[in-house]
Amino acid sequence: MKENMSDTQTPVIEVRDLHKSYGQLEVLKGVDLVAHKGDVVSLIGSSGSGKSTLLRCVNLLEDSQQGDIIFDGEPVHWKGEGLNRHPADKAQVIRIRTNLTMVFQQFNLWAHMSILQNVMEAPVTVLGEDLAVVEERARKLLDKVGIGDKCDNYPAQLSGGQQQRAAIARALAMEPQALLFDEPTSALDPELEQEVVKVIKDLAKEGRTMILVTHDMRLAADVSDHVIFLHQGRIEEQGTPDEVFKNTKTERLQQFLSATV
């Protein structure tokens, strides 16, 4: 959760006036976002409003055409303009991606690897960390998310909720500065959803920095320091959970909330 000093600290993630188009289709039309250390920022909004695109741009999985992305005080260096704009510095891209790990709706575990291997893979191959050190960390993380007994199983042998918890352990194994969640519970049955919600709540309590795209308004209200409502690629309304959920200002957000609850 937010620390008192946070306003004077360098944000972990800062996005300024971000614009993103897919060809002719402008999907992000000038979006700003700030996450200080320990903040949970939730993104809510209708399907197609640009939430996933924003996360993918922050993580540099997608290029953007205008605006700044600043990671821990370090602005992304770009080359080219408009639709030709790309990150200029490969080492910086890797640094940012390994520090902002992403958890996807569809888990995206590697089917041919055991759960333990899934969690160990990136720290060993991308960061070049020592195998024994990584294995110990991976086992602890799998214990932490409640599936320590599934180390030797393959993804297909786990329930959706267990697979998603493995994916969270995998993201944590990189020891990132922030976690990016893209609708981590929306592919799950309601009873399995709660297992994953609990893990996300625990991470929030630990003071992890997170950007969370979610359709679960109760989760957003419970864990967020700041909630952003995206509508057609723009921030239509934002604020604390109380401001956004209890003192809703715009009609668009009112409509969205009454349709979701």
Q: Counting contacts by CB under 5 A, is residue 42 touching Mg ion?
A: no
Q: Counting contacts by CB under 5 A, is residue 52 touching Mg ion?
A: yes
Choose which of 12, 27, 44, 151 interacts with ligand ADP (CB under 6 A).
27
Choose the contact partner of 161 out of ligand ADP, Mg ion, none; CB within 5 to 8 A by kind.
none
Choose which of 15, 35, 36, 45 interacts with ligand ADP (CB under 6 A).
45
- Min. distance of Cβ 257 from ligand ADP in angstroms? 16
Q: What distance, in Å, lies between the first and last C-alpha atoms of the chain? A: 25
Choose the contact partner of 49 out of ligand ADP, Mg ion, none; CB within 5 to 8 A by kind.
ligand ADP
Q: Counting contacts by CB under 6 A, is residue 52 touching ligand ADP?
A: yes
Q: Counting contacts by CB under 6 A, is residue 48 touching ligand ADP?
A: yes
Which residues have C-beta within 8 Å of that of residue 16, sequence separation ≥ 6?
32, 67, 68, 69, 70
Which residue, 21 or 177, is less far from ligand ADP as judged by CB? 21
- Min. distance of Cβ 180 from Mg ion in angstroms? 12
Q: Counting contacts by CB under 5 A, is residue 59 touching Mg ion?
A: no
Q: Counting contacts by CB under 6 A, is residue 176 touching ligand ADP?
A: no
Q: Counting contacts by CB under 6 A, is residue 155 touching ligand ADP?
A: no
3-state per-residue secondary structure call for the chain: CCCHHHHHCCCCEEEEEEEEEECCEEEEEEEEEEECCCCEEEEECCCCCCHHHHHHHHCCCCCCCEEEEEECCEECCEECCHHHCEECCHHHHHHHHHHEEEECCCCCCCCCCCHHHHHHHHHHHCCCCCHHHHHHHHHHHHHHCCCHHHCCCCHHHCCHHHHHHHHHHHHHHCCCCEEEEECCCCCCCHHHHHHHHHHHHHHHHCCCEEEEECCCHHHHHHHCCEEEEEECCEEEEEECHHHHHHCCCCHHHHHHHHHHC
Choose the contact partner of 45 out of Mg ion, ligand ADP, none; CB within 5 to 8 A by kind.
ligand ADP
- Candidates 44-52, 74-82, 116-124, 162-170: pick the segment binding ligand ADP (CB under 6 A): 44-52
CA angle 198-201-202, nearest 5°? Answer: 85
Which residue, 54 or 116, is less far from ligand ADP as judged by CB? 54
- Min. distance of Cβ 99 from ligand ADP in angstroms? 22
Q: Counting contacts by CB under 6 A, is residue 238 touching ligand ADP?
A: no
Distances from the Cα of 182 to the Cα of 28, 54, 61, angstroms: 17, 10, 13
Q: Counting contacts by CB under 6 A, is residue 24 touching ligand ADP?
A: no
- Min. distance of Cβ 159 from ligand ADP in angstroms? 25
- Min. distance of Cβ 28 from Mg ion in angstroms? 13
Footprint of ligand ADP (CB under 6 A): 22, 25, 27, 45, 47-53
